[in-house]
Amino acid sequence: MRKILSVVSLVAFLVTAIPAITAAQTASVNVKAQVELLLKLQKQLQDLQAQAKAIQAQRQGVISELATTLRSGSQGSQVQTLQALLAADSEIYPEGLITGYYGAATTRAVIRFQTKHKLSPVGIVGPLTRAKLNEKLKETPIVFEVSQTTAVGGSAAVAVTSTPGRPCAIVPPGHLIAPGWLRKHGGVSPIVPLCQTLPPGIAKKLGIVPPVSTSTPPDVTPPAIFSIAVGTSTSTATVTWTTNEPADSQVFYDLTSAYGSSTILDAALLVSHTQTLTGLTPGTAYHYQVKSRDGAGNVASSSDQTFTTIAVDATPPAISSIGTSAASTTATISWTTNESATSKVYYGTTNPIDIASTSTLQVSITTLATSHALGLTGLNASTTYFFVIESADASANVSTSTQQSFTTNP
C-alpha cells in the first residue's frame, strides 16, 4: 500500500509540475516529449487502478478461521464471522443479525450451537467451541456479500479505501451435488443461505428457479368510467357511476358545459361512486361531468351529461267519479283522483257543510292513492246527509269537491 501511495504522490507531483515547466520553456520545446510524458503518467494511473482492484479482491477473500476467544461484549470482525456462521443455521440463530457486537442474541445462538454439538452450553466461544466452529468454517466458508471502494484525491495524492460488506456463510456448491459428500452426511444437502447465489449450472441441476423481478412499469392508464346514472328531485340530483379500478369521486356541473360549480372531492378510492348536487333550481336543465383519479394520479373525465330537476308541483289533484252507497246506519263514499293523494270526507246533516268547523264530522286516510273509499258509521236511518270530499297530493296541493248528499235507508 505504501508503494501505491508513493506512485500516486509522484503522479500528482508530475501533473502539477507540467504547467510550470511548460511556462519556463521556450517555443522550441519538443511537444513530442511532453506527449510521451503524459502517456507514461496515464500508464502509471492504470497500474494504480489495477492494484486498487487487487486490494479490494483481497479484502473480499474467504475468512477461514476464528482465532480468538469471544464472549458477551466482544466486538469486531471476528464477531461478525461468528454471527455469519451461526446465521447459516436458522434454528441456531433465527435472528440472523450480523452486527459485529456479541450481545444477548449472539449468546443465545452460541448456547444453541454448543447444545447441538454436545459442548458445555456456557455461551462463550472458548477453545473447544472455537475448534468446532472452525470445522464448520471449512465446510461453510465466510465471504463478504459486497464491497464498496472509494478513491479520494487532490493534487498531491490519491487514497484508495475499501469498506467490506456484511459477511455471509456460503455452502461450497459442489457439496450440493457430490455423491460422496452427500453419503457422508446421510444424503441430506446443506442449507443454502439467502445471501448466497449459486452458479447457474448448480442451480439448474437442483431445479432452483432464479427469482423473477417483481418490478412493474408505472401505471399511466386512467380509470374507465361507465354506468353513469342520475336521480333528481326539485332541488337536488344524485349522480352515480362506476370505474374499472379504485378511484376518487367528483362531479362538475352548471347551467352550461363550462361547469362553474363542483361537488366536494371524495378522496376515497372506490369503484362505485355517488355524489349529490344540492341547491338546484326546480324544473331546470343542468350540464354535468364526472371525474375520477386513480391512485397513480391518472384522471378520467366523462363526456358532457345533462339532467333536468323536477318542477315544483302547484296543481292540486282532480277529483272525479264520486259515488255513494248507503244503508240505514252506514254509508260508503268513493271517488278517484288523477294523481296520488290523501282521502278525507267531511259530513253531517247541516246544509251547507262547514269544513272549517271543528264540530263537523270527518273521516280520513293519509295514504296516497288514486282510488279512494271511506266508510261512514253511526248514521241515523231515513236521514239526509251532506258531505264534501278533500284530497291532497304529495306537494300539499289540496282539492275539495262540491257539496254532495245521500239519504240513509229506513
Rg (CA), the chain: 48
77-140, what's its fold?
Muramoyl-pentapeptide Carboxypeptidase; domain 1 (1.10.101)
353 closest CA partner among 325, 333, 382: 333
* 104-116 and 77-87 helices, crossing angle to 10°: 50
Neighbours of 68 (CB within 10 A): 10
Neighbours of 10 (CB within 10 A): 13
- Could you give phi then psi for residue 155, rounded to 5 degrees? -80, -15
Cβ atoms of 40 and 17 within 8 Å: the answer is no
291 closest CA partner among 254, 256, 239: 239
Question: Over its length of 410 residues, how does the chain's per-residue pLDDT go in tens digits?
Answer: 444 445 445 445 545 555 544 444 554 556 777 777 878 777 777 766 655 554 444 444 556 688 889 999 899 888 888 888 888 787 888 877 778 899 988 999 999 999 999 999 999 999 999 999 888 878 767 665 544 444 444 333 333 344 445 566 555 555 555 565 556 555 555 555 555 565 666 566 555 555 555 567 889 999 999 999 999 999 999 999 999 999 999 999 999 999 999 999 999 999 999 999 999 999 999 999 999 999 999 999 999 999 999 999 999 999 999 999 999 999 999 999 999 999 999 999 999 999 999 999 999 999 999 999 999 999 999 999 999 999 999 999 999 999 999 999 99
- Could you give phi then psi for residue 177, rounded to 5 degrees? -130, -10
Neighbours of 269 (CB within 10 A): 16
Q: Where are the domains of the chain?
A: 2-59, 77-140, 225-308, 319-407
Architecture field, domain 319-407 = Sandwich (2.60)
Same fold, 225-308 and 319-407: yes
Nearest-angstrom CA–CA distance, 208 and 82: 28
225-308, what's its fold?
Immunoglobulin-like (2.60.40)
